[in-house]
């Protein structure tokens, strides 16, 4: 059985982690998958990670890296989508935020990751670079391109999505 | 970018509200199962490929006798089904880590299907179950994803009944007696293989059509078979295969496999 402290940590952080990852993944289901996998990887390391200043940041980092890795396995998903059509629809978004969501969806996953970590989790570039195992310059570049793409899409939503 | 932050917060809050954390102990089982099979997996896989390389070409390649639905240990409703092709005469080690798949076997000994019913994959272990022609699933395919000491061949976490017992219809009556714990299995991964000519697979609860599924005509290693895969099926669902004229096909030609996940 998992130790009570881990159970408590899991219960208190799971939903919050899914929320953050979902913003980057664009899919709550995808977010749940990677967050669960991140917790699976936490289990054997709990003794060490629980001593960290912010164990949740460790799990979040693992989840974000797993999200990146899943890109490599997207081939099966694309094939299945072509064969079976899209998965069950999630509730329709609020129309007020539709443009922003569309603009976000047009970003690459790597851009969305840094945008979410910066704007939602409020991490700075150095922290993001550490979490994603990326050079600082790469993070800056992705963040910059993501912002430019978002700004362009939001200034001309019709043109961007016609 | 303040709007951006509020939208991100909104997206996160919605996902957070809908998130359903599984029991942590379940995640721990996933890890234990993976560790066990990683150790045995290389040996099993090597042996399986070696056996099949000799065995498969000698079999009647016109139709399979066992169909296995393969899914990750923790099947979720949102997981996307996928169908992988296995070339004739060869069995590659398929990677179903992110989805579900169908594996077909020609007539053969149960131990072979047993041997192949679990593969190591990139991310985890497949928990599989299937049905031999005219037999219940537990007689031929076992859950071997868990350590043998805990869940040996006698342990089967999926039971598929029907087939010859009810011509033209296969009733899924799932029960969970193995690693998933006791009680009825209400959510199953279903995959199947149907004869050429099948145009639609219909799932019904008593009296009601739940879903009409397209079939995949290119996945099967057998030229006269078509495939279909369903990520989430309720127990006690009735499955029928219809041809282009809406006629119900003989269930003897209609194979199903399913997995309840770990």
pLDDT tens column, A28-69 = 877 888 888 888 888 888 888 888 888 998 899 888 888 876
Query: Which pLDDT value is given to residue B195?
Result: 59
Query: Which pLDDT value is given to residue A91?
Result: 45
Query: Which pLDDT value is given to residue A64?
Result: 87
Mean per-residue pLDDT, B227-235 = 48
Give the C-alpha separation, B130 to B240, whole Å: 17
Mutation for B interface: A14, A28, A38, A70, most B CBs within 10 A: A28
What is the pairing mode between strands B80-81 and B99-105? parallel
Query: Which pLDDT value is given to residue A9?
Result: 92
**Beta-carbon separation of B12 and A23 below 8 A:** yes
> Per the structure, how many domains does chain B have?
1
pLDDT at A14 over 50: yes
Please write the tens of the pLDDT for every residue from B8-65.
Answer: 888 888 888 888 787 787 776 665 555 444 433 333 333 333 333 333 333 333 434 4
- Spatial CA neighbour of A60 closest among A99, A116, A144, A141: A116
Structural domain harbouring B187: 2-259
CA distances from B148 to B42, B74, B155, B218, B253 (A): 16, 19, 9, 36, 33
pLDDT at B168 over 50: no
Q: Are B194 and B238 spatial neighbours (Cβ–Cβ below 8 Å)?
A: no
Query: Which pLDDT value is given to residue B250?
Result: 55
**CATH architecture entry for A92-162:** Orthogonal Bundle (1.10)
Q: What is the pTM of this model?
A: 0.43
* Model ipTM value: 0.75
Please write the tens of the pLDDT for every residue from A98-144.
Answer: 677 777 888 888 888 898 898 888 888 888 888 888 888 888 888 88
A121-150 per-residue burial string, b: 16 or more CB within 10 A, e: under 16: bebebebbbebbebeeeebeebbebbbebb
Give the C-alpha separation, A122 to A9, whole Å: 21
pLDDT at B192 over 90: no
β-bridge mates for residue B201, sequence order: B213, B241
Give the C-alpha separation, A102 to A113, whole Å: 15
How distant is the Cα of B11 from the closest Cα of chain A, in angstroms? Answer: 6
Contact B77/A at CB under 8 A: yes
Backbone angles phi, psi at B228, to 5 degrees: -150, 160
Instruction: Kindly tell me the sign of the dihedral angle through the C-alpha atoms of A40, A43, A45, A51.
Output: positive
The shortest CB-CB distance from B99 to any of A23, A80, A100 is to A80
Query: Which pLDDT value is given to residue B95?
Result: 30
């Amino acid at each position: 059985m998992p130790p009570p402290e881990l159970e408590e940590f899991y219960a208190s952080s799971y939903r919050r982690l899914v929320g953050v990852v979902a913003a980057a993944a664009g899919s709550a289901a995808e977010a749940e998958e990677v967050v669960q996998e991140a917790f699976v990887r936490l289990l054997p390391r709990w003794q060490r990670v629980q001593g960290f200043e912010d164990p949740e940041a460790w799990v979040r980092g693992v989840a974000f890296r797993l999200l990146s890795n899943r890109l490599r396995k997207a081939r099966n998903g694309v094939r299945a989508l072509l064969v079976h059509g899209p998965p069950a629809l999630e509730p329709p978004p609020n129309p007020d935020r539709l443009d922003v969501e569309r603009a976000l969806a047009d970003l690459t996953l790597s851009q969305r990751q840094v945008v979410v970590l910066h704007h939602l989790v409020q991490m700075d570039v150095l922290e993001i670079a550490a979490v994603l195992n990326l050079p600082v310059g790469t993070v800056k570049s992705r963040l910059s391109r993501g912002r430019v793409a978002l700004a362009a899409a939001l200034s001309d939503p019709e043109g961007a999505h016609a | 970018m303040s709007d951006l932050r509020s939208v991100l917060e909104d997206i996160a809050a919605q996902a957070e509200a809908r998130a359903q954390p599984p029991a942590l102990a379940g995640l721990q089982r996933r890890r234990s199962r993976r560790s066990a099979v990683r150790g045995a997996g290389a040996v099993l896989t090597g042996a399986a490929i070696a056996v099949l390389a000799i065995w498969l070409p000698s079999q009647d390649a016109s139709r399979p006798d066992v169909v296995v639905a393969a899914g990750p240990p923790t099947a979720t409703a949102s997981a996307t089904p996928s169908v992988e092709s296995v070339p004739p005469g060869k069995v590659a080690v398929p990677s179903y880590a992110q989805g579900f798949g169908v594996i077909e076997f020609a007539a053969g000994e149960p131990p072979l299907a047993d041997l192949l019913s679990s593969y190591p994959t990139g991310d985890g272990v497949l928990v599989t179950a299937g049905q031999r022609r005219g037999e219940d699933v537990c007689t031929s395919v076992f859950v071997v994803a868990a350590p043998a000491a805990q869940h040996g061949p006698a342990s089967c976490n999926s039971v598929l009944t029907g087939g010859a017992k009810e011509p033209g219809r296969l009733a899924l009556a799932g029960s969970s007696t193995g690693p998933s714990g006791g009680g009825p299995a209400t959510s199953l991964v279903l995959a199947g293989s149907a004869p050429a000519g099948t145009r639609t697979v219909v799932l019904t609860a008593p009296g009601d059509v739940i879903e009409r599924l397209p079939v995949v005509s290119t996945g099967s290693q057998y030229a006269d078979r078509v495939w279909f895969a369903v990520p989430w099926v309720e127990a006690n669902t009735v499955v029928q295969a219809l041809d282009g004229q809406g006629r119900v096909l003989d269930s003897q030609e209609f194979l199903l496999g399913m997995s309840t996940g770990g």
